[in-house]
Structure 1
Amino acid sequence: MKLFCLTIAGSDPTCGAGIQADIRTFDRCGVHPFSVITAITYQSATEFYGYNSLSDDLNKQLDTIFTSYPVKYVKIGMIPDVKALDIIVDVVRQYELIVVLDPVSISSAGERLSSEGLELEIEKSLFPYIKVLTPNINEASFYANRDLSNKTTENIAELKEAAIILVKKLYSDNQALAAEKAVVIKSAGIKQGELFDLVCFSTGIGANENYEFMLYQKPKLSFNGNVHGTGC
C-alpha cells in the first residue's frame, strides 16, 4: 500500500511550482498525493501577476481529506494570510502531522506571496511543529537574521551556524527536546557561481545536543530572467 502525503500550497497554472510541482514529486517518489489549495496564483514562468487567497475554503478542503484518509505526512508551501496559517496550525496539531515546510514568502519574480509580516507569525506558531524546514538562501538569511548571500563551500562555517539557529527554532518548551529535526538550506553560493544545499540534522537540543551536516553540490543552470519554481 502506498503512503499518503498531503501538499498544502498555492496553485500554479504553469505547473512549475506549488501543488502541481509537489504532486509530480510525490508521484516520482511512489507516494500517493493529496492536495489542498491555499491560493490561486496568476503567473508565468518568469512573471508573477498576483494571487487570490482561498482561506475561506481551506477547512472544507482539509475536512474532506482527513475524514476519509489516514494522512500523516504533509508538505506546506504558500501560506497567504493569518487565517490560512491558523487553520493549518490547527490541523497539524489535531492530527499530529509530520510536517515539511517550505517557508516561501517571495516569488522568484520578487513579488510577495503572503501578507506583510506573516513570516514572524509562521515562525511563532508553526515552526515548533515542523520536522523539516527547507528555506532558500534568502529565507534562511531572514529567519537566522544573517546575511548568507555570499557564503560558499570555502567559508561555510557561518552558514552552518545559521542552520543551527534555524534548527533550534523548530523546538519549543512543550516538545520533547530529543525529537529529530532538520533544516535544508537550498541554493547557497548562487551569487558566486557555485550551487549547493546544506542539510543540518539534529537529534535534539539541550545538554547532549548534536548536529550533523551534509553538503550537496550541483551545477548552476543559466536562464534568462527569474524562472520560477527553481527552489521547489
Structure 2
Amino acid sequence: MTTIALTIAGSDPSGGAGIQADLKTFSALGAYGMSVITALTAQSTQGVDAVLAISPEFIEAQFNTLYQDIQIDSVKMGMLMNKEIVTTVHHLLKTNPIPIIVLDTVMVAKGGHSLLKPDAITAIRELLLPLATIITPNLPEAAALLDCDEAKTEDDMQKQGYELLKLGCKAVLMKGGHLPSNESPDYLITQNNTVKITAPRIQTKNTHGTGCTLSAAIAALLPNNSLPDAIAQAKNYLHGAISHANDLNIGKGIGPTHHFYRWW
C-alpha cells in the first residue's frame, strides 16, 4: 500500500521550504502527499516579506475534510505560527488519531525572519510534544523549547535531547548543523538508546528548506521502516539533495535543495 502522508505547515511560494518542500519530498520518497496550510507567506530565496496566518476554523475545515475521506499514515507538522493554531492542531490530532506524528519545531526562516510567535513556544512544548512520535529540533529550537542556552558541544546536544524526551515525546532527533565542525552530527535519542548519525558538511549556500525536507522525509519513510532506518534513509536523501543543490541555481539568495536530484 502507498504511504499517505499529510503535512500541516505554511506555504512557501518559492518552492524551497514549507508545504511545497514537504510535498516534493513525499513524492521523491514514494509517499502520496496531502496538505493542510496554516499560513501564507510572501517569500523568496532572499527572505520573508510577509506572513498571513490562516484562521483556526479554516485549518480545522481542511483537516476534517481530508480525515473523513482518506486514511492518513503519518503527519508532519511545520510552521504553526501562533498559540491559537497550535491549540487547534493539538485538538485535531488528539481527537483524530494518526499513527505517526513528526514535529518539526519551525521557529525561524533561513534568512532570520521569525515564523513563530512567543506564545506558541509554550503551547508547542505543553500540547504537541506529548503527542509526537519524534521531534526534529535544531540547536536554537531545542534551546527555545527548554528555555536554556544553545548547545555548544555534542555532549550538550545529547543532554538537551534527554531533557526534551522528558517532556513527553517518544523520540528526539537533535540536529547539529549549527555546530562548527567538518561533519553535521545528529543524535537520535529515545528512552532505550542514543544513536549518532553523521554526514560530511557540504559547502553550499543553498540550504533553504533543509529542516522541512528532513522531517518530511521521516514522515514518508517511517510507516514502512524502523525509526533508526527511517532516520538514516532520510538523512541520506537530504545529503543528496544538498549535494546537488548548486545544480538548480534558483534565485539570488539562499537557494533550495534539489528534491528530485535522483531523476533530473
Q: Same fold (TM over 0.5)?
A: yes
Cα offset, 1:41, TM superposition: 0.8
Which residue pairs with 1:34 in the alignment?
34
Q: Which whole-Å deviations, capped at 9, do the CAs of 1:143-174 have from their partners, x for residues lacking one?
A: 234434532xxxx2222111111111125xxx
Alignment check: 8 A CA contact 1:149 1:188 kept: no
Is 1:229 the counterpart of 2:209? The answer is yes
Supply the distance in 2 between the matched residues of 1:150 and 1:46 (Cα, whole angstroms).
Answer: 28
Q: Which whole-Å deviations, capped at 9, do the CAs of 1:186-224 have from their partners, x for residues lacking one?
A: 23453345422221122xxxxxxx332222233232328
Supply the distance in 2 between the matched residues of 1:168 and 1:108 (Cα, whole angstroms).
Answer: 29
Name which of 155, 158, 162 aligns with 2:156. 158
Instruction: Please tell me the residue identity of whatever aligns with 2:39.
Output: A
Question: 1:117 is paired with a residue of what secondary structure?
Answer: helix
Name which of 116, 119, 122 aligns with 1:117. 119
Which residue pairs with 1:104 in the alignment?
106
Alignment check: 8 A CA contact 1:131 1:182 kept: yes
Supply the distance in 1 between the matched residues of 2:113 and 2:70 (Cα, whole angstroms).
Answer: 35
Which residue pairs with 1:78 in the alignment?
79
Alignment check: 8 A CA contact 1:79 1:85 kept: yes
| Aligned residues: CA RMSD | 1.9
Alignment check: 8 A CA contact 2:139 2:157 kept: no
Instruction: Please tell me the residue identity of whatever aligns with 1:185.
Output: M
Instruction: Please tell me the residue identity of whatever aligns with 2:48.
Output: F
Instruction: Please tell me the residue identity of whatever aligns with 1:150.
Output: K
Which residue pairs with 1:167 in the alignment?
165
Alignment check: 8 A CA contact 1:146 1:162 kept: no
Cα offset, 1:94, TM superposition: 1.2
Supply the distance in 1 between the matched residues of 2:110 and 2:129 (Cα, whole angstroms).
Answer: 23
Within 5 Å, give how 1:1-232 maps onto structure 2: 1-55=1-55, 56-97=57-98, 98-151=100-153, 156-171=154-169, 181-202=170-191, 210-223=192-205, 228-232=208-212
Supply the distance in 2 between the matched residues of 1:29 and 1:73 (Cα, whole angstroms).
Answer: 14
> TM-score of the superposition, structure 1-length normalised?
0.83
Q: Which whole-Å deviations, capped at 9, do the CAs of 1:83-118 have from their partners, x for residues lacking one?
A: 211221111111222210001111111111122321
Question: 1:190 is paired with a residue of what secondary structure?
Answer: coil
Instruction: Please tell me the residue identity of whatever aligns with 1:184.
Output: L
Unaligned runs of 5+ residues in structure 2 are 213-264
Question: 2:7 is paired with a residue of what secondary structure?
Answer: strand
Moved more, 211-220 or 100-109: 211-220
Alignment check: 8 A CA contact 2:134 2:172 kept: yes
Question: Cα–Cα, structure 1 residues 220 and 187, in superposed 2: closer, same or farther, change >3 Å?
Answer: farther
Alignment check: 8 A CA contact 1:78 1:104 kept: yes
Cα offset, 1:119, TM superposition: 0.5
Larger helix percent: 2
Supply the distance in 1 between the matched residues of 2:173 and 2:200 (Cα, whole angstroms).
Answer: 15
Instruction: Please tell me the residue identity of whatever aligns with 1:96.
Output: P
> TM-score of the superposition, structure 2-length normalised?
0.74
Alignment check: 8 A CA contact 2:151 2:157 kept: no
Larger strand percent: 1
Supply the distance in 2 between the matched residues of 1:192 and 1:216 (Cα, whole angstroms).
Answer: 11
Supply the distance in 2 between the matched residues of 1:51 and 1:95 (Cα, whole angstroms).
Answer: 28
Instruction: Please tell me the residue identity of whatever aligns with 2:135.
Output: L
Moved more, 181-190 or 48-57: 181-190
